[in-house]
Amino acid sequence: MSLDIPVQYVKGVGPKRATLFGRLGVETLRDLLYFAPKRYEDRSNLSPINSLESDTYQTVFCQVVDVKEERVRKNLTLIKARVRDDTGEAIAIWFNQTYLKNILKRGVKLYLYGNISRKYGRIEIQNPDYEIADGDETIHTGRIIPVYSLTEGLSEKIVRNIIWNTLNNYLEELEEFLPEEILEKYGFPDIKRAIWGIHFPDDEVTLRKSRERLTFEEFFILQLIILRRRMSLLKEYAPVIKVSRNLEKRFLESLPFELTNAQKRVIEDIKRDLASGKSMQRLLQGDVGSGKTVVAAFFLYAVASNGYQGAIMAPTEILAQQHYDRIGPLLSNLGIESALLIGSTKEKEREEIKLGLSQGKIPVIIGTHALIQEDIEFKNLVGIVIDEQHRFGVMQRMALRNKGASPHFLVMSATPIPRTLALTLYGDLDISVIDELPRGRLPVATYWASGEQRAQVYNMVRKLVKNGQQAYIVCPLIEESDKLEAESAVKLAKEMQEEVFPEFRVGLLHGKMGINEKEEVMNRFRNGDIDILVSTTVIEVGVDVPNATIMVIENAERFGLSQLHQLRGRVGRGSLKSYCILISDLTSEDARERIKIMTRTQNGFEIAEADLSLRGPGELNGIRQHGIPEFKVGNIIRDTRILELAREEAILLLKKDPELSSFERLKEMIENSPFTEFLSTG
Ligand code: ADP
Ligand code: MG
């Protein structure tokens, strides 16, 4: 029998409950077996009735003496069962569950679990969970019991019963697929015992071992998928891109600054990849402001100088435009022309660009997802850069990659990803890190201010702007509605211009403006024609104006940590001392924690780690939103050690048997894993 039958056909489920289980992510019989409890309750210790203490939850094993129904008022009927064991008597009380009268007959033996109260020498158990003792095994009491995530229409008792029956009926169908050696090496229980043990463990040790094994298996499969994919990518050929010393020198000499050591190192990595004849698959990580763009420009320059085409895709029009404004002239100086293609590019110009790309007349194209529209074709696209990659869905990245035959691929991320997450999500890529900021950068002095201190904050802005510097004022985030956010931005800008800073030029930028309008505002800000820019989070990604030295963030508590860090990255980009002021009336513990972290550190990695543990991995980088499958048992924050073990073992196994030819069942598990589908498109 297949474990992949729909859960509907599992005994005790049926179509109605199957829909409910679907909401919990349980679609098949296998999912049901792997439906890990969210927590457990230890009801294994049976307490003698005479030892029961008030205000504790206890399990007792007892016998019914008699049952009474008591109608208190119209809508309240009590069922009171007198129960006893060898040590004493207690009263169990249920509200409005009159059917119990027919179940709890005199002499019936049962387990009760509930909150105890002792009143006037009487012992009461209110609304206890009960379980009739008819076999030697109990499901809901008298043991460590599983507690599952529920949805309306499914109770703990129903789910527990279904799982219990499913284990008894189908557990035998599960076949071991982990290598024997691994089970022995780590003392993992086999698959049957582990699945049993995660639902109905006999003790803490069994539970821990079962969880470890299932976590391992989940990570192990994922790592095998990633490593095998990496192996196949490494086999892909791509044109050799030659970078002569002269070519490199020309590039470096055209820059207004010297590269940092970290940037130089990454350029060496890229040169090595390009010379190899194999397709480059590289993730470039570098904190905001670390200077990733110039590295991307080098890559595009190298590709174009070799007669091929290069493309860089950015997530927003503002950012694409900014890249075009910077990379364009840089490459043009070196004799390489480029073009900009974004959603709002005029039709006529778009047609020209389209033609230029397909005929190979445009060597470098800079753009947004406008680049991946179906009718855009390249003559020989060989170099691809995805900037701020976490802003793109997997499909979009893939779509651009598919426009080249076998391209070299550079994805860039300003969200520093903790090592464990990087292994999980990008284990198939080579990783380069820019872990050093350009010389002369000062840390951004970050302060918290309450709403009442606004006047002081504005005075600070005033002082800096008087000195010829520029400021950002970031409006409160309104996640539910771009429209409301835009409106509040308009209002704030008006107030700033008319009431607070009449002597300065205040500009406004929000997501509802057209690109031309946005671009004009950004240009004026860049050229110093705007002193204070009131903006929504549209400036979050990549905007680079080194003369802006102070950022005020209104209602800072509404932003996530990574977002605050990205926003703050807009200042402190030159050699001037910069400030970030977080205005907030600290509404929650969580907000307080985030602001504390922001004022304490500038280190993107530290912030990402903190973000990960405050919000959970799903939300970081919008992982969930990008459709990355969730883990059933494992948790990449808690189970780092197992993740790393799983990776080591996966590497060892693939060394011994790259095709996994002696591990048929394991191969099957890999083929059926949701991660396979996910990664084959990424
Ligand atoms: P990010 O990594 O956030 O994309 P950018 O590439 O936008 O950062 O670079 C941030 C700023 O630092 C830009 O103004 C850029 O010109 C400047 N920059 C980059 N590399 C250096 C360097 N080696 N020395 C000085 N300034 C640099
Ligand atoms: Mg950038």
* pLDDT tens sequence across 379-425: 999 999 999 776 666 667 777 777 877 889 999 988 766 666 777 76
Which segments of 217-336 are extended strands (E)?
Answer: 281-286, 309-313
Same domain, 578 and 475: yes
Band of pLDDT at residue 295, cut at 50, 70 and 90: very high
Same domain, 252 and 150: no
Same domain, 503 and 519: yes
Segment among 79-93, 155-169, 407-421, 483-497 with least mean pLDDT: 407-421
Same domain, 498 and 553: yes
Given 601, 622, 644, the domain boundary residue is 601
Same domain, 320 and 379: yes
Q: What is the structure's pLDDT at 248? A: 96
pLDDT in tens, 514-538: 878 888 898 899 999 999 999 998 7
How many whole angstroms separate alpha carbon 342 and alpha carbon 321? 8
Band of pLDDT at residue 464, cut at 50, 70 and 90: very high
Establish if 81 belongs to a structural domain: yes
Mean of the per-residue pLDDT values of the chain: 88
pLDDT in tens, 183-231: 999 999 999 999 999 999 999 999 999 999 999 999 999 899 888 888 8
Give yes or no for residue 286 CB within 6 A of ligand 1: yes
The residue nearest atom 24 of ligand 1, judged by CA position, is 438
Q: What is the structure's pLDDT at 426? A: 74
Residue 265, pLDDT above cutoff 80: yes
> Quick one: which of 64, 44, 12 has its CA closest to 138?
44
Region 465-483 average pLDDT: 87
Instruction: Please report which ligand is nearest the Cα atom of 434.
Output: 1
CB atoms within 10 A of CB 187: 9
Same domain, 479 and 578: yes
Give yes or no for residue 563 CB within 6 A of ligand 1: no
> Quick one: which of 198, 167, 201, 189 has its CA closest to 43?
201
Region 225-241 average pLDDT: 85
Band of pLDDT at residue 453, cut at 50, 70 and 90: very high
Establish if 198 belongs to a structural domain: no
Q: What is the structure's pLDDT at 269? A: 96
Residue 541, pLDDT above cutoff 90: no
Give yes or no for residue 273 CB within 6 A of ligand 1: no
Given 557, 585, 601, the domain boundary residue is 601
Establish if 203 belongs to a structural domain: no
- Structurally, how many domains does the chain consist of? 4
Segment among 212-221, 501-510, 622-631 with least mean pLDDT: 622-631
Establish if 323 belongs to a structural domain: yes
Do residues 460 and 579 lie in contact, with contact meaning Cβ atoms separated by under 8 Å?
Answer: yes
Do residues 211 and 196 lie in contact, with contact meaning Cβ atoms separated by under 8 Å?
Answer: no
Same domain, 504 and 585: yes
Residue 627, pLDDT above cutoff 80: no
Residue 137, pLDDT above cutoff 80: no
Same domain, 406 and 529: no
Same domain, 394 and 480: no
Give yes or no for residue 266 CB within 6 A of ligand 1: no
Tokens of 108: 């019936």
Q: What percent of the chain has pLDDT over 90?
A: 56
Q: What is the structure's pLDDT at 230? A: 80
Q: What is the structure's pLDDT at 228? A: 87
DSSP string, 29-55: HHHHHT---SEEEE---B--GGG--TT
C-alpha of residue 541 to centroid of ligand 2, in Å: 7
Which of 254, 255, 257, 330 is the pocket-test mutation for ligand 1 (most atoms within 8 Å of CB)?
257
Establish if 545 belongs to a structural domain: yes
Tokens of 658: 């790259």
Which of 253, 441, 444, 573 is the pocket-test mutation for ligand 1 (most atoms within 8 Å of CB)?
573
Q: What is the structure's pLDDT at 620? A: 47
Do residues 578 and 550 lie in contact, with contact meaning Cβ atoms separated by under 8 Å?
Answer: yes
Atom of ligand 1 nearest to the CA of 258: 23
CATH classification at residue 113: 2.40.50.140
The residue nearest atom 9 of ligand 1, judged by CA position, is 291
Atom of ligand 1 nearest to the CA of 295: 6
C-alpha of residue 508 to centroid of ligand 2, in Å: 22
Q: What is the structure's pLDDT at 622? A: 46
Q: What is the structure's pLDDT at 626? A: 47
pLDDT in tens, 578-594: 999 999 987 788 888 89
Atom of ligand 1 nearest to the CA of 293: 6
Give yes or no for residue 542 CB within 6 A of ligand 1: yes
pLDDT in tens, 543-599: 788 899 999 999 998 888 888 988 998 998 888 899 999 999 877 888 888 999 999
Which of 261, 293, 439 is the pocket-test mutation for ligand 1 (most atoms within 8 Å of CB)?
293
Given 601, 618, 638, the domain boundary residue is 601
Same domain, 465 and 549: yes
- CA dihedral 208→211→213→215, nearest 10 degrees, is -140
Establish if 135 belongs to a structural domain: yes
Give yes or no for residue 564 CB within 6 A of ligand 1: no
CATH classification at residue 580: 3.40.50.300
Residue 621, pLDDT above cutoff 70: no
Establish if 259 belongs to a structural domain: yes
Instruction: Please report which ligand is nearest the Cα atom of 573.
Output: 1
Same domain, 467 and 369: no
How many whole angstroms separate alpha carbon 131 and alpha carbon 109? 9
Establish if 422 belongs to a structural domain: no
Same domain, 31 and 79: no
**Host domain of residue 364:** 245-276+291-413
Residue 347, pLDDT above cutoff 80: yes
Distances (CA, A) of 321 to 131, 317, 365, 599, 674: 68, 6, 11, 32, 37
